[in-house]
Amino acid sequence: MDQDDIEMEIDGEDSLDIHVVTPGEVVTRDSAFMRGHGTYTEDETLVASLAGVVDRVNKLISIKPLRTRYNGEIGDVVVGRITEVAQKRWKVDMNARQDGVLLLSSVNLPGGVQRRKNESDELQMRTFFAEGDMLSAEVQAFFQDGAASLHTRSIKYGKLRNGSLVTVPSALIKRTKSHFVTLPCGVDVILGLNGYIWVAKHVPISPEQANQPDALYHNDNEPIADQEREIIARVSNTILALAKHNNFINDTMIVYAYEAGSSHRVKDILKPDISQEIVQTARAQFQEAQQH
């Protein structure tokens, strides 16, 4: 099967209600509509400033681009990397238009969940998060200039270990109920809405471990067996294969694609013809499941 066959298969369904616009195109002349993201008004008409799909919610019209940097929303789960340790804050690279800010006051520190941060905490900030550390966090608020303020005030969030990072375009990640998933193959996946995905060994946290002062911020990986490494690599490559074919990514899609690629060797998953076949099989399975 080649590219044309995929195209044929997808054509016909849903293609009618996709309204594609390009920059400078008039979306509507009706002044009853409000302008949302990706639009501007000129002479009472609503004009698109992006190439994408028109998204209408009641009277609000916005354009959804299909390839763009991450635009955060409050409550989003993101995966990021510390780029800088500054005064009472960390700067976090999260594939957005500016680095995110993680304030010292928005992290849980060892020894008591809620306590005031004092000067000694400020001095040892680098022992919690140093440059290059990966973390998962939630978008808490936005500053005036559009930079995101993050927080890790939950047991779910915090430093990431025991795994590898996969980066995909942020538009591919679908918003779902949970972005923390444990796959049937025994691998934990954190689907950051910013397009950073953390694939890691599943490590159950026992309550007494969580209370240990060192538990949150230590830098040591658990022992990972060769077999576990292979599964992590397989899941990573499966996600990359989905991204290569611009397919949306959620937990079910990863599971389907993982199953579809299970007969191939890990390194073969990213070969053009094999990845195509895997994505196609997974898509077909997903659509079938949707109809039931």
Partner 1 sequence: MAARLEIVSPEGLRVDGRRPAEVRRVLTRTGVLSQADGSAYIEQGNTKCLAAVYGPREPVKRAGVLHDRATINVEYNVSSFSSGERRAKLRRDRKLLEIGLMIKQTFETVVATTSFPRSEIDIYLQILQTDGGAVHTAINAATLALIDAGIPMTDYVCACSAGFVNDQAILDLNFLEESADVPTLTVALLPKSGKISMLGLESRLHIDKLEPVIALASDGCMQMKDTLDEAIRISTRNLAKTVLH
Summarize as ranges the residues that interact with partner 1 (CB under 8 A): 7, 10-11, 13-15, 18, 20, 22-24, 38, 40, 42, 47, 49-53, 65-69, 83, 93, 97-99, 145-147, 171-172, 244-248, 283
Considering the complex, state which of residue 6 and residue 215 has its C-beta at the smaller distance from partner 1: 6
CB 96, min distance to partner 1, A: 8
Nearest distance from C-beta of residue 232 to partner 1, angstroms: 21
By beta-carbon proximity to partner 1, the closer residue of 65 and 110 is: 65
Residue 258 tokens, joined: 């993982």
Min CB(249)–partner 1 separation in Å:
10
Residue with tokens 């990213």: 270
Closer to partner 1 at the Cβ: 70 or 217? 70
For residue 217, the one-letter residue type is Y
CB 137 → partner 1: shortest distance, Å?
17
Least distance to partner 1, CB of residue 99, Å: 5
In the complex, minimum distance from the CB of residue 106 to partner 1, in angstroms, rounded to a whole number: 20
**Complex with partner 1: residue 22 or 105, whichever CB lies closer:** 22
C-beta closer to partner 1: residue 83 or 216: 83
Q: Closest CB to partner 1 among 131 and 230?
A: 131
Angle CA 182–185–187, to nearest 5? 45
Q: How far is the CB of 175 from partner 1 (least distance, A)?
A: 13
Residue placing its CB nearer to partner 1 in the complex, 69 or 153? 69
Closest distance of CB 202 from partner 1, Å: 29
Q: Which of 224, 256, 226 is nearest to 239 (CA)?
A: 256
Whichever of 13 and 214 has its CB closer to partner 1, that residue is 13
CA distances (Å), 218 to each of 24, 126, 130, 133, 160, in order? Answer: 52, 12, 11, 11, 10
